[in-house]
């Protein structure tokens, strides 16, 4: 072997050890976490425990529930959860049954939060109020017919800009005219459930059935996002339906935590056994595969920890399955390599042909698995969705490690084949 090959092998081993360390412990400099480790991976409701609640939207007399109405209700629930310092939540809408499913794992950033207490009041209709700077209520949700997002021009320049158009009831128009007359030159804060969501500046008295709320500084996209959110939140103050709780239950973390521990141990034992078996059968390529598998596992853990992907028990199953897919790709390549070496080809040609002939089989098998995983993620929910996203991510990484990492490292070892093929799983020598 040349010195260059040895250096590249050593670099690969160092990278493997570095990624393994980062995956387990992360990287913290001072008080700042630069890279999160495996302990920072968010766990789902089935592992950490929490509360799940199902709301049924019941229309008021003479009204119908639209998808937009459910979207507004979702926005209100999100605001209320975040106001309680709960950000690790899942909200799902079922447009067919008009149901809203809310899941709050106990593994939130604020461990003092009681999940059952956190969902109290989420089913109430949002309260929207316009106030003066002293906190006095000038008009509220019942005075507003609708709030719509618009990009139409609002001044003589003729240039459209994101804003919210409010339409008042007859009584609301009178209240708004009085309020703007008193607050000319001042701000008029708008509150949703006691949280100020906007504080528009009143230039002069407005005696109209409509009013415009403009958004402050920022790019067009940023202002559009804010204006759309304001319109949805303000309009939700007069939702034409009530939210009734049809199911609420607390899920303890005890069973999930036990299952997590068992799953992690099972995955570790399986990984070790797979590495030992593949080393016994394929010898030197098996060692290469082991290095690639460690890199694969470290990359997968790092991505999950630093992107906020929630890990569920079914996700762990997807992770272990993707490890099997990674091994499978290496097995196909190594078997091809043994066949080519057995034909007494030079090690360079055997290496090239083994990857070339195995490529289509590996890609076809993994692409179909990725498609299925994406379908499960897109159409599934809860545990099915968690399984799908982890499986898809794992398969993509397994392709990378098999076709890039393993190939790079194995190429450095191939000169040893010219001295004998025992290290590559064969007893015959190549001449």
* Predicted confidence (pLDDT) per residue in 167-194, tens digit: 888 999 999 899 988 898 888 888 866 7
φ, ψ (nearest 5 deg) of residue 201: -90, 130
Chain mean pLDDT for the chain: 81
Rounded to whole angstroms, the Cα distance separating 112 from 427 reads 64
Of the pLDDT bands very low, low, confident and very high (cuts 50, 70, 90), residue 21 is very high
| Spacing of C-alpha 18 from chain mean position | 26
pLDDT at res. 327 = 83
pLDDT at res. 111 = 52
Q: What are the structural domain ranges in the chain?
A: 3-42+253-424, 50-251
Q: Is the pLDDT of residue 431 over 50?
A: no
Model pTM?
Answer: 0.62
Which residues face 201 on adjacent strands? 187
Tokens 């994101």, residue located = 162
User: Residue 399, class by beta-carbon neighbours within 10 Å (0-12 exposed, 13-18 middle, 19+ buried)?
Assistant: buried
Fold of 50-251: Alpha-Beta Plaits (3.30.70)
pLDDT at res. 430 = 44
Q: Is 343 helix (H, G, I), strand (E, B) or coil?
A: coil
Of the pLDDT bands very low, low, confident and very high (cuts 50, 70, 90), residue 14 is very high
Query: Could you report the per-residue pLDDT of 335-368, keeping only the tens digit for each?
Result: 888 888 888 778 888 888 888 888 888 888 888 8
Of the pLDDT bands very low, low, confident and very high (cuts 50, 70, 90), residue 84 is low
pLDDT at res. 22 = 93
Percent of the chain with pLDDT over 70: 84
Rounded to whole angstroms, the Cα distance separating 230 from 147 reads 8
Question: Where on the phi/psi map is residue 344: left (φ > 0), alpha (ψ -120 to 50), or beta?
Answer: left
Tokens 């299952």, residue located = 259
Q: Which residue has the higher pLDDT, 386 or 262?
A: 262
Q: Is the pLDDT of residue 207 over 70?
A: yes
Of the pLDDT bands very low, low, confident and very high (cuts 50, 70, 90), residue 141 is confident
User: Is 1.20.1640.10 the CATH classification of the domain at 3-42+253-424?
Assistant: yes
pLDDT at res. 121 = 61
């Amino acid at each position: 072997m040349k010195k260059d090959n040895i250096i590249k092998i050593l670099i690969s081993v160092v990278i493997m050890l570095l990624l393994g360390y980062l995956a387990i412990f992360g990287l913290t400099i001072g008080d700042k976490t630069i890279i999160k480790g495996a302990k920072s991976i968010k766990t789902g409701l089935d592992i950490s425990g929490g509360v799940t609640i199902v709301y049924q939207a019941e229309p008021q007399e003479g009204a119908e529930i639209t998808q937009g109405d459910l979207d507004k209700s979702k926005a209100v629930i999100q605001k209320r959860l975040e106001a309680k310092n709960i950000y690790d939540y899942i909200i799902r809408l079922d447009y067919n049954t008009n149901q809203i499913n809310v899941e709050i794992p106990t593994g939130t950033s604020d461990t003092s939060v009681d999940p059952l207490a956190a969902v109290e009041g989420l089913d109430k209709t949002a309260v929207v109020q316009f106030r003066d700077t002293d906190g006095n209520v000038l008009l509220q949700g019942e005075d507003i017919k609708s709030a719509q997002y618009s990009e139409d021009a609002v001044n003589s320049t003729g240039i459209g800009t994101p804003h919210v158009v409010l339409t008042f009831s007859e009584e609301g128009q009178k209240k708004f005219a009085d309020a703007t007359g008193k607050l000319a030159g001042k701000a008029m804060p708008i509150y949703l459930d006691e949280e100020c969501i906007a504080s528009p500046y009143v230039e002069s008295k407005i005696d109209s059935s409509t009013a415009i709320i403009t958004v402050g500084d920022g790019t067009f996209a940023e202002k559009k996002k804010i204006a759309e959110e304001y319109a949805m939140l303000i309009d939700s103050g007069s939702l034409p339906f009530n939210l009734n709780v049809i199911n609420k239950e607390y899920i303890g973390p005890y069973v999930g935590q036990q299952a997590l521990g068992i799953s992690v141990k099972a995955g570790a034992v399986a990984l070790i056994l797979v590495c030992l078996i593949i080393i016994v059968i394929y010898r030197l390529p098996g060692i290469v595969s082991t290095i690639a598998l460690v890199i694969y596992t470290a990359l997968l853990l790092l991505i999950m920890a630093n992107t906020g992907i929630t890990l569920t028990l079914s996700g762990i199953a997807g992770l272990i399955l993707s490890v099997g897919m990674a091994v499978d790709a290496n097995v196909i390549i190594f078997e091809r390599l043994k066949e080519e070496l057995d034909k007494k080809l030079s090690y360079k040609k055997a290496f090239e042909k083994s990857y070339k002939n195995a490529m289509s089989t590996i890609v076809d098998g993994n692409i179909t698995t990725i498609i299925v995983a994406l379908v499960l993620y897109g159409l599934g929910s809860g545990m099915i969705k968690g399984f799908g996203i982890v499986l898809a991510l794992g398969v993509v990484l397994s392709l990378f490690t098999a076709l890039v990492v393993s190939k790079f490292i194995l190429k450095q070892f191939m000169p040893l084949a010219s001295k004998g093929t025992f290290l590559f799983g064969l007893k015959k020598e190549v001449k």
